[in-house]
Amino acid sequence: MKRLLLFALLFLVASGARAQGFDRREDVQAFVQDMQVRHGFDVDMLIDLFRHTKPNAAVIKAIMPPKDPGVRSWQAYRGRFVEPKRIAAGRRFMQTYAAELAAAEERFGVPADIVAAIIGVETIYGKQLGRFNTFAALTTLAFDYPPRAELFRRELEELLLLAREENRSPLSYTGSYAGALGLPQFLPSSRRRFAIDFDSDGRVDLTASPADAIGSVANFLVAHGWERDAPIADIITVSGDGIQALIDEGIAPQRTPTQMEAANVGIARVGAGDTAIPDRPAALIDLVTPGAATEFRLGYRNFYVITRYNRSSFYAAAVMDLASALHASK
C-alpha cells in the first residue's frame, strides 16, 4: 500500500511537471538561481536547457523499488554476475588490455582482476552502458523523485560543472537511468573527482577509452583507502552466540578475528588448508540465501573499500568472486 501511495504521489508530481515544463517550476528556478550564485552559470542558458528537457517516466519506473521485494538471495545475486558469459567476456577484456591493467596495478596497487571484475559487473565490459540522456534522467530524479531528490540534485549540479569543464553540452551525455557514465558507471561527482586520463591522450573518456576506465577505477579504490597487497575477504564458518552482535556492527572493519573470538564467536577458514586467518581488523559479513545456509566472510579493509563503489556486501562479494574466476582463467 505504501508503495502504491508513493507511486501515485510521484505520478501526480510528474504529471504536473509535464504540463508545466521544468523551466517554469519554482524548485527548478530556485536551483538555477543557486547555480548562478555559487558557480556563475548563465541563468538564461540553464533555463533554456530545462525548457527543452521533459520528464522521463521510464526513469521513475526504473528506480522504483519492486512491488514485492521479498528476501534478497545471495546465490541468485551472485549467479547474475559470476556466470560463464561474463567470465568469458572478462577473460577477453583482460587479454586485450593486459598492458593497461598491469600498468594500473603497478601504479595503484589494485589487482588487475579486481579492476576488470568491477567493469564486468557494472557494464559487462561496455555492453550495457545505458541509453538515457543523462541530463534528462538526473533532472527527472532531482525534481520528480522525492525519496532521493537531494542526492540527484547534487549529481545534476556535478553534471553541469563537468560539462562546463569539458566544454560540452550538458545534453550530450548518455548513461544509466540513474545518471551513471561510461564503462565503470561513475556518477558525475565521481567522474569529476576520480576519473583520470590513463591513456595520456589529453582527455578523459570513460566510454571510448578502456584505458581511462581501468585507471579511473583503480584511482577511485585507492582514493577510498585501498591497501596494496592486502587481503579482501576470507570465506569462513562461524559458531557461538555472539554472531548477530558482530553482524549488527556493520561492514566497516572493527575487530580482529582474535577479538571476535573473545566475543564468543568461533571462526574457521573454508578451504584454505593450514593457512592462518590474518589477525587484522575485519567485519563479519553474512550473505543470506533463503532456504540455504548463510555464507559468512571476514571482510577486511579492501572489502569495505569495494562497498564504497556500491554500498552492498553482495556487490563486493560478487566483485571478489568474479575477480577470482578471472584470475583462475588466466
Type of residue at 312: S
> 88-126 burial by CB neighbour count: b if 16+ within 10 A, else e?
ebbeebbeebeebbebbbeebebbbbbbbbbbbbbbbbb
Alpha-carbon torsion (251, 254, 257, 262), positive or negative? negative
Identify the H or E element spanning 148.
Answer: none
Catalytic residues: 122
Alpha-carbon torsion (255, 260, 261, 264), positive or negative? positive
Q: How far is CA 318 from CA 76, 77, 216, 233, 234, in A?
A: 11, 8, 20, 12, 13
Beta carbons of 176 and 206 less than 8 angstroms apart: no
> Please, which residues have CB within 8 angstroms of residue 124's CB and are 6 or more apart in sequence?
86, 89
The burial of 227, by beta-carbon neighbours within 10 Å (0-12 exposed, 13-18 middle, 19 or more buried), is given as: middle
Beta carbons of 309 and 263 less than 8 angstroms apart: no
Which of 244, 235, 287 minimizes the C-alpha distance to 264? Answer: 244
Q: Which three cell numbers stand for residue 62?
A: 526504473
Alpha-carbon torsion (35, 148, 289, 249), positive or negative? positive
Place of cell 559487473: 121
